[in-house]
Structure 1
Amino acid sequence: MEALKFLRQLLAVILFCLAGNTMVWGQSGPIETARPLIAAKQYNEAIAVYENWLAIYPNDANIWRELGIVQSWNGQSLKGIDAFKKSLGIDPGNLDAKRSLGYAYAWRGDYGHAKEMFESVLEASTNDEEAQKGLAYLALWSGNYARAANQFSELARRSPQNTEYQIALAKSYKAIGETGKAARAYRQIKQLDPANKATAGELVALRTQPVFAEADIWAGYSKVASSSSDGLRLMQLALQLRHNLRVYGRFDKSLSVDNLDLLRRNVRGNVYNLGAYYNWNDKTGTTIEAGLREFGEAQPEQYTIRAEQNYAIGKNVCLKGGLMTAFAKDTRSEWVIFAGGQISVARWLTLEPAFFFTRLNAYSFDHRFALNSKFLPGKGYEINIGVLAGRAQIENEAAMRELTGAYVVGLAPISKPVWLMFSYRYENGFFDKLSTAALGLRFRFGESR
């Protein structure tokens, strides 16, 4: 809906500008009469003015076009398209009518016919800027962000003071992951229009956008019941291969230091994961992950597969759901089903509820609920504070076991390429009490912003 609202507003501005180019036809009667009505957004009255004129002069191509513009503003896009077609039927070479018809098609999402109209204008007038801009917006709205970036870059090069081109260029670069170029475009907008408050917010948001490569390393201290351990916890490398494709590899030894049984027996519990996230469009994304858990000679290696799907509802809500399975030779498979979401309460606060159901076998299962509050104070800083609770049914036990806990995780940019991470977690678990404290560093490699 936000994209449609933006398209509607932009089309209104474009059609108004195009209308201004044809106010000197000599048909000043209906135009001058309709102008104050249009300014007051009395579109039905303005439409009546044009229709009354056309009832007398049905072959007035320019007034048919003016009628189409007002009908488009009034939400009558199909009638607007018909009016533009009648204008072109009378005057096939009317480039203003072709441009207007192109934007009207775009408003309807008919990008193919819109493209035909803009290209027809360029055949007659090679350097027509409005038609070039129309094609650039078609690329942006249809998701061809790389082409949009190229086209708006050329338009901005020819008109460097045009903030409209810079805004569209920044959006295009951001969509394809060219965050450095997007930031430069937003800084140009800030210079041209210091009052533009949205620019500052976009620049801050870009600091948290993925770069080409990110490397994380964590070390910490864990205490489980009366046993403790310290050292390396996790290492991860993530690569942004395309604007919509991110792959990663992770080495995680948290099981070695957080599981009391493995800790007391000095058995390693290393986990190796390879995964990828693919963003299908601005609403949906999918994560697929495969892993290996090794436990030395204590028990067979265990293989894991996890899949997660995200779906955005509007601008402020995103739903998540998925499953994971862990299996090994001659042992029962484990299954986890999870669901959750993200709710943007304010620019600086997002709530993230989540539910997990785990079945170990026919007689043992647990379910957990977590609620995370993500605070974004700005400039790339992030603080997550969460609570969790759960219940478990253990085989051969009549009573349910309970779990409660809380955690805090933070992210703080030290410099552009180096970020500090920290976490603390306390859990009164199903079997033992756990507390962990960890520090990490994130190294970001990519275009400077």
Structure 2
Amino acid sequence: MKLLPLAWLEMGLLLLGVGLLLPKNLPGQEAQYKRAQQLAYAGKHQEAAQVLDSLLETHPDYLPGAILRAHNLAWSRQYDLAIYAFRQILDHHPQNVEAWIGLGYAYAWSGDLDNSFFPFRQALRFEPGNLDARKGLAYTYITKGNGRAAQRLLLRLLAENPEREDIYIALAQSYMVENRDRKAQEVLEQVLVLNPDNPDAHTLLKVLKGKSTLAEFDVWGGWSDIDGENKVGLRMLQASWQFSYALTAYARYDNTLSLDNLDFILQRQQSTSIIAGALWAWDERYATRFEYGPRFFSNRDLQHQFRIEQVFFLPESFNVRIGGHYGASQGFPNEWLSFISVYLPFGKIFALEPTFYVADTGLSGGTENRLVLNGNVKTLSGFEFNLGGFLGNANVEIEGAKKRIGGGYALALIPLKKRLFLQLAGNYEMGALENKTVLAAGLKLRVPNR
């Protein structure tokens, strides 16, 4: 995530207000310097450069002018020249803290983030606790996508400077790069308590609101083949509504069992479910999902279905999910399923998620289990792809039933427009009694939060 340009500019401007002590008894130099400073502050970088060139031609050893010229080059986006100018200053003044900080910003603005860390750390070596150097390090971590490292710096800075709005803004951005939008919103609301007119806070709140989704609508259809018997039909409809950052509720019509069960296909029977559910985010560490809904059968009593899931959010975007499903009906065996899953991110776009399931369908001679491994790729453009497979043991006491089961699947979410997505899925399963192939397609519509 890119930083707000205003935040970067403010960081640079602060440098000129801290640590620059003008020499005494040099009224001509000071007047030219102040004139150049005013022009640079006003964004008139070319005019400022002309004044500084004239000043330094007459007084080549005037250090404040040399530092201001290097800053002015950086502010006018002449980053290579700015880096060269700061390095020239440091060749003669290797302990000049402001030159080290300016060099760090010049590298950061140029996109050379790897080289921006060293100058900020050098500044802190010569002046431990320097506010601008610590902020520069934090902003560089944010731009690199390392929100956690930035937060360690910024939280200490806030403890020392609780009224600094710019530090709150940086802290909010550090949460945003980790997609911790709820926490970012809380920080930005604190900024507005300090200053209701803070433009950066309002801008970032608009960004957060634009990212959030008020409602989602999904429709899926597909084709199933089970040992040569196939069926085409509507698989699922779902609608969800985000009432707040904490609460999302949804309802789902599920017809997949009608299409994917061989007995139902052969007997031309239906089995549909209507599910209502909610996801509640307690805070940044915990979230809970609960679902209930009846499943209707053509030839027996309905089944009551319950599902609960607990999510534990860990540092660095890791999380653990634990949950279960229970189905109860009269005149038919009850069934249950439990699972545990671990989400393991590798970089910004790829993650692995192993999940272990244990289940009892009520019709087998005992429990069954499956180990699923899912690989997930998710890009900033909204494209998402999942590829996975599973192995397991069945426990079906029917002659000819296989003990070992397995299969694989692929799932893609493809942006068509800003809020409209194409969904594609394919699944192949070697089950205990039959082999199954499913191909499905659908659409997802996301309605933004206004």
| Range into which the TM-score falls when normalised by the shorter chain | 0.5 to 0.7
Aligned equivalents of 1:173 and 1:221: distance in 2?
Answer: 42
Displacement after TM superposition at 1:435 (Å): 0.8
Q: Does 1:107 align with 2:155?
A: yes
Aligned equivalents of 1:335 and 1:173: distance in 2?
Answer: 44
The aligned residue for residue 337 of structure 1 is 338
- 1:73-131 deviation digits (Å, cap 9, x = unpaired): 7xxxxxxxxxxxxxxxxxxxxxxxxxxxxx999836997x986xx4xxxxxxxxxxxx5
Aligned equivalents of 2:383 and 2:122: distance in 1?
Answer: 48
The aligned residue for residue 419 of structure 1 is 421
Displacement after TM superposition at 1:388 (Å): 1.5
Aligned equivalents of 1:417 and 1:35: distance in 2?
Answer: 51
Displacement after TM superposition at 1:233 (Å): 0.8
Q: Which moved more, 1:370-379 or 1:134-143?
A: 134-143
The one-letter amino acid paired with 1:322 is: G
Where 2:257 maps in the other structure, the secondary structure is helix
Change (3 A) 1:172 1:221: same
Where 2:394 maps in the other structure, the secondary structure is strand
Aligned equivalents of 1:224 and 1:235: distance in 2?
Answer: 23
- 1:366-424 deviation digits (Å, cap 9, x = unpaired): 10111111223552112211112211112477986221111111111111232111111
Q: Which moved more, 1:385-394 or 1:35-44?
A: 35-44
Q: Which of residues 255, 258, 261 is equivalent to 1:259?
A: 261
The aligned residue for residue 386 of structure 1 is 388
Displacement after TM superposition at 1:238 (Å): 0.9
The one-letter amino acid paired with 1:250 is: R
The aligned residue for residue 287 of structure 2 is 285
* Alignment map for 1:179-258 (pairs within 5 Å): 179=210, 206=211, 210-258=212-260
Where 2:258 maps in the other structure, the secondary structure is helix
The one-letter amino acid paired with 1:374 is: N
Question: For the Cα contact (< 8 Å) 2:285–2:313, is it kept in 1?
Answer: yes
Displacement after TM superposition at 1:324 (Å): 1.3
The aligned residue for residue 273 of structure 1 is 275
Aligned equivalents of 2:381 and 2:237: distance in 1?
Answer: 25
The aligned residue for residue 444 of structure 2 is 442
Q: Does 1:145 align with 2:185?
A: yes
- 1:310-335 deviation digits (Å, cap 9, x = unpaired): 22222142211111111112443212
Where 1:332 maps in the other structure, the secondary structure is strand
The aligned residue for residue 302 of structure 1 is 303
Displacement after TM superposition at 1:136 (Å): 6.8
Question: For the Cα contact (< 8 Å) 1:380–1:413, is it kept in 2?
Answer: yes
Where 1:306 maps in the other structure, the secondary structure is strand
The one-letter amino acid paired with 1:280 is: W
The one-letter amino acid paired with 1:246 is: T
Where 1:242 maps in the other structure, the secondary structure is coil
The one-letter amino acid paired with 1:279 is: A
Aligned equivalents of 2:125 and 2:380: distance in 1?
Answer: 48
Q: Which moved more, 1:378-387 or 1:261-270?
A: 378-387
Percent identity of the aligned residues? 23
Change (3 A) 1:404 1:369: same
Displacement after TM superposition at 1:23 (Å): 7.6
Aligned equivalents of 1:147 and 1:238: distance in 2?
Answer: 27
The one-letter amino acid paired with 2:396 is: I
Aligned equivalents of 2:265 and 2:240: distance in 1?
Answer: 29
The one-letter amino acid paired with 1:380 is: G
The one-letter amino acid paired with 1:366 is: E
The one-letter amino acid paired with 1:261 is: D
Aligned equivalents of 1:400 and 1:225: distance in 2?
Answer: 15
- TM-score of the two chains, using structure 1 as the length reference: 0.61
Gaps of 5+ in 1: 1-5, 25-33, 48-66, 74-102, 119-130, 160-164, 180-205
Displacement after TM superposition at 1:339 (Å): 0.9
- TM-score of the two chains, using structure 2 as the length reference: 0.61
Change (3 A) 1:257 1:447: same
Where 2:263 maps in the other structure, the secondary structure is helix
Gaps of 5+ in 2: 22-94, 101-118, 135-150, 176-181
Change (3 A) 1:320 1:109: farther
The one-letter amino acid paired with 1:382 is: E
The aligned residue for residue 77 of structure 2 is none
Aligned equivalents of 1:442 and 1:36: distance in 2?
Answer: 53
The aligned residue for residue 61 of structure 1 is none
Aligned equivalents of 1:423 and 1:335: distance in 2?
Answer: 26
Aligned equivalents of 1:214 and 1:147: distance in 2?
Answer: 27
The aligned residue for residue 433 of structure 1 is 435
Displacement after TM superposition at 1:282 (Å): 2.7
Q: CA RMSD in A?
A: 4.4
Aligned equivalents of 1:262 and 1:404: distance in 2?
Answer: 22
The aligned residue for residue 326 of structure 1 is 327
* Alignment map for 1:162-181 (pairs within 5 Å): 165=200, 172=205, 178-179=209-210
